[in-house]
Structure 1
Amino acid sequence: MRKMESGLLKIEALLRAFALGILLLGAILVALDSETEPIIYTIKKKATFKDIDALIALVYVDAAAAGYNLLQLSRCIVYPQIKSKSTESYLKLAWTNFLLDQVITYAQFATNSAALEASMLAITGTRSLQWMKVCNRFTRFCVQIGSALLCGYVASLLMILVSLISAFNLFRFYSPKQFLLLKGR
Structure 2
Amino acid sequence: MNSFKRETWLRIMSMFLLALTACLVGFDSQTKVIFYTYKKTATFHVLDVLYVLVWIDVAAAAYNLLQLITSYKFQSYFTKDLTASYRYVAWGIFLLDQAAAYAVFGVTAAAVQGSTLAITGEKSFQWMKLCNRFTRFCIQIGGALICGYIAAVLMVITASISAYSLFRIYSPKRFLMLKPK
Shift of 1:87: 2.0
Partner of residue 55 from structure 2, selected from 41, 57, 60: 60
Post-superposition Cα deviations, 1:42-99, rounded to whole Å, max 9, x if no partner, equal 1110000011100000000000000000001112322224336142111111100000
By how many angstroms is 1:32 displaced? 0.2
* Match status 1:79 vs 2:74: yes
Q: Which runs of 4+ in 1 moved over 6 A?
A: none
Q: How many residues align?
A: 177
Q: Taking every aligned residue pair, what percent have the same amino acid on both sides?
A: 52
- Match in the other structure for 1:114: 110
Mapping of 1:1-185 within 5 angstroms?
7-83=2-78, 85-176=81-172, 179=175
Alpha-carbon separation, structure 2, partners of 1:27 and 1:180: 44
Tell me, in whole angstroms, the C-alpha distance in 2 between the residues paired with 1:24 and 1:82: 30
CA distance in 2, matches of 1:41, 1:76: 57
Question: 1:175 Cα shift?
Answer: 3.1
Consecutive unaligned residues of structure 1, counting only runs of 5 or more, are none
Report the CA distance shift for 1:180/1:148 in structure 2 as closer, same or farther (over 3 A): farther
Letter in 1 for 2:97: D
Structure 1: how far apart are the matches of 2:60 and 2:41?
29
Shift of the alpha carbon at 1:179? Answer: 4.3
Instruction: Give TM-score scaled by structure 1 length.
Output: 0.90
In structure 2, C-alpha distance between the alignment counterparts of 1:180 and 1:70, rounded to whole Å: 35
User: Unaligned 5+ residue runs, structure 2?
Assistant: none
Q: What is the Cα-based RMSD across aligned positions, in Å?
A: 1.7
Q: Is the contact made by 1:10 and 1:76 (CA closer than 8 Å) also made in structure 2?
A: no
How far is the alpha carbon of 1:137 from its aligned partner? 0.2
SS in 2 for 1:50: coil
Q: With the length of structure 2 as denominator, give the TM-score of the two structures.
A: 0.92
